[in-house]
Structure 1
Amino acid sequence: MAKIRILVADDHTLIRRGIVGLLDSQPDMQVVGEAGAGEETISKALAEAPDVILMDIAMPGINGLEATRTIKRQIPEIQVLILTMHDREDYLFQALRAGASGYVLKGADIQDLLTAVRCVYRGEVYLFPLVAKKLLADYLRRVESGEELASYDGLTNREREVLQLVGQGKTLSQVAETLCISLHTAQTHRDNIMAKLELHNRAELVKYAIKRGLVFLDS
């Protein structure tokens, strides 16, 4: 079985080495590189083309968000999982906008981190529960203040079904199987949803689904 090839980017050596040891101890994971700064992360990502990058936000020089944006622009297939101490909404939104597929806090349990790595590797989106709840709280504040999201009413019933399934973390293949439609049709529905809601990537679709209350969040 092919292992998940991972690049670990964190400017704190002790933390980085601890994460490397944890990941390398998993039978389905292999750390192919380490980086302690944004520029180094970009260079190693382009050289190694890992499956997943575990990315800190606060690093010397180019920060993790800018590094994510640069890497995703050049190799979109690389999945970036943000691992940070910052639970502020602005960091979360910037990370998703930059193209990150997951966001985990450094206070998370080990199993949460391993689950997150495997999720983003499969093309799914992973948001740490506390972070997901912040998204929901942000949505509720917008509703109370009268601020509207992009028009949900403009979606067809089938598009709403696809949006909900994507929001639950399902891949397009799983969406197609669940709805008994072809993969091409599922892709078309996803593209139409993104165009209507002015969203740019899968992570933003998941964020929108959570804000609309289409995804149930575990306590």
Structure 2
Amino acid sequence: MKNNEAIRVAVAENSVIIRNGMTAVLKRIPNLKIQPMEVLNIDALQELLRMHMPDILIVNPVFDGYFDLNRFREYPRTSCIKCIALQGSLLDTSLLNKYDGIISIFDDMDMITEKILRLQRYSGNEETEEESESLSSREKEIVVCVVKGMTNKEIASKLCLSIHTVITHRRNIVRKLQIHSPAGLTIYAIVNKLIELDDVKK
């Protein structure tokens, strides 16, 4: 996201009151040009994704019954969209941890502004790193772990990270390298001397 461009934010929420309220708050955030788009059901979300790809999706985890975040992120077009959970009720923490951020319907204007700004800064930093097409040292560590067959949970434990952070790093790796399979990552790791051939033999 460039500073002079409007940030496209989709709000996916079945409740018209909450959806309209969130949209009104987004329009009032100071020093940010936000273009909010309201989404009332899953069909409308799919149509929006075809027409106008948002930078940020604020979505109720129980949107249209259940919003499958993992499936949403499987596709290259949507994997780079930042997803914020819109929490309107008590939800399982493990469900919320998958999101890039959480906005509660009880948050005040300052809290919501801070969360959007933090996410925007984070997104801007990612784009700068991606332009260089080089992996950070942490991303290289994660590539090695993936090549060794470790799960996200095992990687998180080994590197003292949250599972959510590991997933975010893995998405960044896919976007930078355009490699979508463990086999492809194995070849990349060997060619770039991140790992020895003997280390991946079973």
TM-score range, shorter chain: 0.5 to 0.7
Secondary structure of 1:57's partner?
A: coil
Alignment partner, residue 150 of structure 1: none
Percent identity of paired positions between Structure 1 and Structure 2: 13
Q: CA deviation at 1:10?
A: 1.2
Cα distance, 1:41 vs structure 2: 2.1
Q: Map of 1:119-134 to 2, 5 A cutoff?
A: 119-123=118-122
Q: Is the 8 A contact 2:152 2:166 kept in 1?
A: no
Distance of 1:171 and 1:194 partners within structure 2: 21
Distance (whole Å) between structure 1 residues aligned to residue 115 and residue 108 of structure 2: 11
**What do you get for the CA RMSD once the two structures are aligned?**
3.5
Q: Which has the larger radius of gyration?
A: 2
Q: Deviations over 1:46-82 (max 9, x none)?
A: 431110011112333x52x32x334322211101000
Structure 2 CA distance for aligned equivalents of residues 95 and 18 of structure 1: 21
Distance in 2 between the 1:103 and 1:37 partners?
20
Which of these residues, 136, 139, 142, is aligned with residue 187 of structure 1? 139
Find out whether 1:109 has 2:77 as its counterpart. Answer: no
Is the 1:172–1:187 Cα contact (8 Å) retained in structure 2?
no
C-alpha separation in 2, matches of 1:87 and 1:189: 35
- Label 1:54 to 1:195 Cα distance change in 2 as closer, same or farther (>3 A): farther
C-alpha separation between the residues in 1 aligned to 2:16 and 2:7? 22
Aligned twin of 2:193: none
For 2:8, what is the secondary structure of its paired residue?
strand
Note the 1:63-82 alignment, pairs <5 A. Answer: 63=66, 65-66=67-68, 68-74=69-75, 75-82=78-85
Q: Which residue is equivalent to 1:20?
A: 23
What secondary structure does 1:53 align onto?
A: strand
Q: TM-score, normalised by structure 2?
A: 0.58
CA distance in 1, matches of 2:147, 2:97: 17
The one of 40, 43, 55 aligned to 1:39: 43
Where do 5+ consecutive residues of structure 1 fail to align?
125-169, 175-181, 209-219
Residue 9 of structure 1 corresponds to which residue in structure 2? Answer: 12
> How many residue pairs are counted as aligned between the two chains?
149
